């Protein structure tokens, strides 16, 4: 459980980074003229759509990790079991990727950012714009779903983390924790509007970067450190 709580916390910290882009979307989604309850409903629907996409990505990433591990190790690994070589390689790769993304958050790797964000984002953004203005009650859900697919380094980082769990279900749970972590900030943005100063947003980005860096280092350690016991202790309450 500790593991998912850490992810939740990282998601919460990271969500201050989200405010830059996704927060803008949440603001644009705005208030429902039918009253505060409708507004809350609207934003819950939007966030539910987003969360679903995250979970889906987590599931896919986890399943891919699982496929990789089973094709090497011939044994479905679990988080609290001992690590075989395939899992170690996966953990090291994931850890390195996360550290790269963290560095990018600190503005150290500009090229990487472009690769991460330039991938099909423009078409999605175009389609999102036309959804924003739609009065349909179903529009926020669709908006959230597409928003979840928007290229975002934060989401990628956690998807990589999900892949390193080498299982569809833990993958889903990683992204679920992360997604739930982003809920408070995003709901707040939707309800209150833009209230954080740019300087605060910058601090949010650093906070998110630090958390990802930490997670990346831990994941890397999981792959590198020789003692399975260490991992076991760390990911203690994870599902089995």
Partner 1 sequence: MTARSDNLCSHCLLPIGLRAMQRKVNGEDCAFCCYGCCIAFQVKHGKSEEWEAAWLLIRLGVGAFLTMNIMLISLVLYAGTFSGADAWLLPWIHLLLWIFATPALVILGEPYLRETWAHAAQGRVTSSALVVLGVGAAYAYSIFATIEGSEQVYFDTATMVLMLFTIGSYIEAAGRAKAARDLEPLLAAESECATVVDEGTESRRPVRDIGAGMLVRVKPGERVPVDGVVIEGLSHTDEAVITGESRQVAKRVGSAVIAGSINLDGPLLIQSSGAGSATRWAQICRSVRDALSRRSPIQRIADRVVGVSVPFVLILGGLTVAYWAQLMPFDQALLVGLAVLVVACPCAVGLAAPLATSLGIGRLARCGCLVRDPGTLEALARTRLLAFDKTGTLTSGRSRIVGIESDGAGTDEVLARAAGLERHSEHGLAHAITMAAAARGLEPVVTSDVRAVPGRGILGNADGQPMAAGNSALMGDLGWSLAPALRERARSLEASGHSVIYVGWAGRVHAVLSLDDTPLPEAHSTIEKLRSLGLHVTLLTGDLAPAARRVAAMVGIEDMQACLSPEAKRAALDQYRQSYEVVAMVGDGLNDGPVLADADVGIAVGSATDLARETASLVLPPGGLWMLPWVIAVARMVRKTILTNLMWAFGYNLVALTLAVLGLLQPVLAAAVMASSSLLLVVNSLRLSRLPDPAPSALPGRLPSAEPDSVRRALGVPVMSGPAIERG
Q: How far is the CB of 229 from partner 1 (least distance, A)?
A: 26
C-beta of 16 vs 46, nearer to partner 1? 46
Residue 171 burial by CB count (10 A; 0-12/13-18/19+): exposed, middle or buried?
Answer: buried
Q: Say whether residue 85 binds partner 1 (CB under 8 A).
A: no
C-beta of 58 vs 209, nearer to partner 1? 58
Measured CA to CA, the distance from residue 28 to residue 8 in angstroms comes to: 26
C-beta of 104 vs 164, nearer to partner 1? 164
Considering only residues 151-180, where is the footprint of partner 1 by CB under 8 A? Answer: 168-169, 172
Q: Say whether residue 127 binds partner 1 (CB under 8 A).
A: yes
Q: How far is the CB of 235 from partner 1 (least distance, A)?
A: 17
DSSP string, 58-82: HHHHHHHHHHHHHHHHSS---TTS-
Question: Are the C-beta atoms of 6 and 193 separated by less than 8 Å?
Answer: no
Task: Give helix then strand counts, H and E, for the chain.
Answer: 11, 0
Residues engaged in binding partner 1 (CB under 8 A): 48-49, 52-53, 55-56, 59, 123, 126-127, 129-134, 136, 138-139, 141-146, 168-169, 172
């Amino acid at each position: 459980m500790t593991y998912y709580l850490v992810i939740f916390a990282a998601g919460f910290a990271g969500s201050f980074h989200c405010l830059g882009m996704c927060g803008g979307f949440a603001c644009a989604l705005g208030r429902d003229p039918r009253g505060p309850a409708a507004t809350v409903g609207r934003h819950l629907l939007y966030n539910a759509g987003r969360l679903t996409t995250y979970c889906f990505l987590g599931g896919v990433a986890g399943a891919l990790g699982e496929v990789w591990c089973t094709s090497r190790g011939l044994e479905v690994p679990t988080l609290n079991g001992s690590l075989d070589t395939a899992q170690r390689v996966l953990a090291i790769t994931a850890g390195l990727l996360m550290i790269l993304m963290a560095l990018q958050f600190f503005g150290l790797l500009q090229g990487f950012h472009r690769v991460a964000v330039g991938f099909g984002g423009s078409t999605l953004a175009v389609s999102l714009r036309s959804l924003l203005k739609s009065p349909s009650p179903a529009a926020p859900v669709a908006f959230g779903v597409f928003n979840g697919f928007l290229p975002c380094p934060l989401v990628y980082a956690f998807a990589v983390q999900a892949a390193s769990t080498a299982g569809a279900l833990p993958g889903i749970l990683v992204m679920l924790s992360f997604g739930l972590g982003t809920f408070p900030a995003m709901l707040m943005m939707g309800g209150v509007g833009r209230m954080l100063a740019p300087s605060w947003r910058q601090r949010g980005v650093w906070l998110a970067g630090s958390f990802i860096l930490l997670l990346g280092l831990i994941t890397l350690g999981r792959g590198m450190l020789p003692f399975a016991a260490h991992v076991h202790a760390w990911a203690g309450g994870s599902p089995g």
